[in-house]
């Protein structure tokens, strides 16, 4: 039995190709990128060894610091927005709409699958002030709230960016968390109800703890996506105004391909990698402790 389940030939056939592709196209380049961090230059000019110069540069580079800060700010705002809206949607589906939730679920899920660039261009026009007020501005004006050019200030651009990304993805998280809530046994809910737990208390003491696992994987999934944000920023604000909405990903891309510095670009990419791994580990740590307590 064991020998069959551990058959090496089958193992090689099944796992080999995937592992090979993954190693060659991802693992090797990762190490290689780390190697680049000690060099200056690019493909066009050639490379020169620079020792730890790139790391020193990163330490003093105010643009990198603001990009890091923006990455965090964006990741926290959008992740909270995504998961919170998703959770509220899931509660709506399960407790308010019940059986009739299917149509709404379908509608709200739809923006998830739209091309990012298309959505970003749409939002650009929604919030435009020139040549004409876009729909969002027109609506705000109608409510008597006058807002100038959204994309002229760091704050305004940030708001539009977060609104867009939450709008786009809350349907996905709604369905994801809904899947977790549906699995809560009826008997549990019923007995809680008989004990007099309703509304908020029911959610707080029964639903929330029981949906903790799905919530955790949603948070991890969400953070992982938001830390690597690239396309929505590029298409919506192109990192502007100035470089106020430039996350690490975009800064790396520019450094490598506009300013022609592969070494420094790799150094920024390494920083981003460290951040991604670090944040995920922290979440897992934190959640494990929390779960044992609960």
Which is closer to another protein, CB of 7 or CB of 286? 7
Q: Is 160 in the site for another protein (CB under 8 A)?
A: no
Q: Residue 235 in contact with residue 244, Cβ under 8 Å?
A: no
Position 24 contacts another protein (CB under 8 A): yes
Q: Which residue from 69, 84, 106, 282 is in contact with another protein, where contact means CB under 8 A?
A: 106
208 binds another protein per the rule CB under 8 A: no
Nearest distance, CB of residue 47 and another protein, angstroms: 10
Contacts with another protein: how many residues (CB under 8 A)? 142
Q: Does 282 bind another protein (CB under 8 A)?
A: no
Asked if residue 153 binds another protein (CB under 8 A), the reply is: yes
Looking only at residues 233 through 262 of this chain, which bind another protein when binding is defined by CB under 8 A?
234-235, 238-244, 249, 252-254, 256-260, 262
Enumerate residues 53-72 that contact another protein by CB under 8 A: 57, 62
Distance CA 294, CA 274 (A): 30
What is the closest distance, in whole angstroms, from the C-beta atom of residue 145 to another protein in the complex?
16
């Amino acid at each position: 039995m064991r020998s069959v389940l551990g058959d090496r030939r089958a193992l090689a056939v099944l796992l080999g190709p995937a592992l090979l592709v993954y190693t060659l196209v991802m693992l090797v380049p990762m190490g290689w990128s780390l190697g680049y961090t000690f060099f200056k230059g690019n493909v066009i000019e050639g490379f020169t060894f620079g020792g730890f110069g790139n790391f020193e540069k990163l330490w003093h580079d105010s643009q990198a610091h603001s990009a890091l800060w923006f990455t965090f700010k964006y990741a926290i705002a959008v992740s909270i927005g995504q998961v919170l809206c998703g959770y509220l949607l899931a509660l709506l589906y399960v407790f308010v709409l019940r059986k009739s939730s299917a149509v709404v679920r379908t509608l709200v899920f739809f923006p998830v699958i739209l091309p990012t660039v298309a959505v970003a261009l749409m939002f650009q026009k929604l919030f435009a002030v020139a040549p004409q007020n876009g729909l969002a501005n027109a609506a705000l004006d109608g409510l008597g709230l006058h807002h100038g050019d959204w994309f002229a200030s760091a704050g305004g651009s940030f708001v539009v960016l977060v609104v867009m990304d939450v709008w786009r993805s809350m349907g996905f998280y709604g369905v994801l968390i809904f899947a977790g809530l549906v699995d809560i046994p009826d008997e549990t809910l019923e007995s809680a109800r008989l004990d007099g737990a309703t509304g908020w208390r029911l959610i707080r003491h029964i639903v929330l703890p029981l949906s903790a696992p799905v919530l955790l994987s949603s948070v991890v999934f969400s953070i992982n996506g938001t830390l690597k944000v690239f396309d929505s920023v590029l298409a919506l604000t192109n990192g502007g105004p100035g470089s106020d909405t430039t996350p690490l990903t975009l800064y790396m891309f520019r450094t490598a391909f506009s300013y022609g510095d592969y070494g420094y670009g790799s150094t920024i990419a390494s920083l981003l990698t460290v951040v991604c791994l670090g944040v995920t580990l922290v979440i897992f740590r934190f959640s494990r402790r929390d779960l044992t307590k609960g």
